[in-house]
Amino acid sequence: MTDRRDSYYLKAKRENFRSRAVYKLKEIEDKFRIVRDGDFVLEVGASPGGWTQYLTSIEGVRVVSVDIAPHDPVENSVSIRRDIFSADIFELISEAAGLIGGGKFNAVLSDAMSNTSGNHSRDHASSYLICDRVMTISMEFLSPGGNVLVKHFQGDMTKDLIDKWSPKFRGHKVTTPKASRSGSREIYIIFFNLMSKPL
Ligand SMILES: C[S@@+](CC[C@H](N)C(=O)[O-])C[C@H]1O[C@@H](n2cnc3c(N)ncnc32)[C@H](O)[C@@H]1O
């Protein structure tokens, strides 16, 4: 049987995408349509830029991306090289949004994850903190009606994470794309339609 990792990896090479992760986003997009034509998108954990390539291929979409790691520029996007936990991240995102002609964003997408240690509790805790930070950033920058997608490594605090943030949105879904590596605890949580005032 062909190893799925190899097939997605080779497909990405063939189709000139910088990462196999792009097929996870494609699958999620085909199913849930998180991003629409003309949207301003904030992307967290963007390097090497596969998701950015895909997002900017959608008609009129402009992206501000954030990552600790550098990556080659992608047209119609502005990248910020910074840890999302740094104190000046709000200011930097605000400045970058201005550069692409926006203020608020229609969607926030995060594929961010620190290097996994193999220790599930540690990886889950680290993922919880990243997701929680992405949600805090989203509360500052997401327009009412906007959507958030976050990658998350499941564990005992996953329910707390969803319970904490879902009341601010009209709905949420959890999904695992086929392109996620088999046996991994990776899920993607989508929060749909930010309410202007929580119920
Ligand atoms: C799986 S990669 C993203 C791949 C990307 N979606 C693509 O398609 O090319 C995860 C990224 O999250 C970034 N990351 C992890 N923790 C971060 C943090 N605290 N702040 C900013 N970026 C972070 C890593 O540097 C890494 O580049």
Angle, helix 158-165 to helix 120-141, in steps of 10 degrees: 10
* Residue 64 in domain: yes
Active-site residue, 31 included: no
Q: What tokens were used for 175?
A: 């999904």
User: Concatenated DSSP letters for 50-107?
Assistant: HHHHHHHTSTT-EEEEEESS-----TTEEEEES-TTSTTHHHHHHHHHHHTT-SSEEE
pLDDT at 184: 83
Please compute the mean of the pLDDT values over residues 107-127 and round it to a whole number.
95
Predicted pLDDT of residue 1:
44
Percent of the chain whose pLDDT exceeds 70: 95
The count of structural domains within the chain is 1
Ligand 1 site residues, Cβ closer than 6 angstroms:
18-19, 21-22, 45-51, 66-69, 83-85, 111-114, 130
Please give the distance, rounded to the nearest whole angstrom, from the Cα atom of residue 1 to the centre of ligand 1: 30
Please classify residue 9 by burial: count the beta carbons closer than 10 Å to its beta carbon, then call 0-12 exposed, 13-18 middle and 19+ buried: middle
- Separation of alpha carbons 166 and 112, rounded Å: 20
Instruction: Kindly report the pTM of this predicted structure.
Output: 0.95
When pLDDT is averaged across residues 58-71 and rounded to a whole number, the result is 97
- pLDDT tens per residue across span 130-165: 999 999 999 999 999 999 999 999 999 999 999 999
How do beta strands 169-175 and 105-110 pair?
A: unpaired
Strand blocks (E) in the chain: 40-44, 62-67, 77-81, 105-110, 142-153, 169-175, 186-194
Q: Which residues of 162-179 are buried (b: 16+ CB within 10 A; e: fewer)?
A: beebeebbeebeeeebeb
Model pLDDT for residues 1-29, shown as the tens digit of each residue: 445 556 999 999 999 999 999 999 999 99
Look at residue 193 and give its three-state secondary structure.
strand
Q: CATH number of the domain that 87 lies in?
A: 3.40.50.150
Q: What pLDDT does residue 132 have?
A: 98
Measured distance CA(101)–CA(62) in Å, rounded: 9
Asked if residue 161 belongs to a domain, the reply is: yes
Residue 169: pLDDT over 70? yes
Q: Give domain status of residue 33, yes or no.
A: yes
- The first and second tokens of residue 127, run together, are 């993922």
User: Considering the domain boundaries, does residue 177 fall inside one?
Assistant: yes
Q: Whose CA is nearest to atom 26 of ligand 1?
A: 45
Q: Look at 57 and 197; give whichever has higher pLDDT.
A: 57
Give residue 13's domain range.
Answer: 4-194
- 40, 102 contact by CB (below 8 A): yes
What Rg value do the Cα atoms of the chain yield, rounded?
16
The region of weakest confidence among 42-56, 69-83, 98-112, 172-186 is: 172-186
Residue 172 lies in a domain: yes
Task: Find tokens 């949600």 and name the residue.
Answer: 135
Is residue 199, in this structure, part of any structural domain at all?
no
Q: What are the b/e assignments for 95-118, b being 16+ CB within 10 Å?
A: ebbeebebeebbbbbbbbbeeeee
Question: Is 109 among the domain residues?
Answer: yes
- Confidence label for 198 from pLDDT (cuts 50, 70 and 90): low
Give the Å distance between the CA of 199 and the centre of ligand 1. Answer: 33
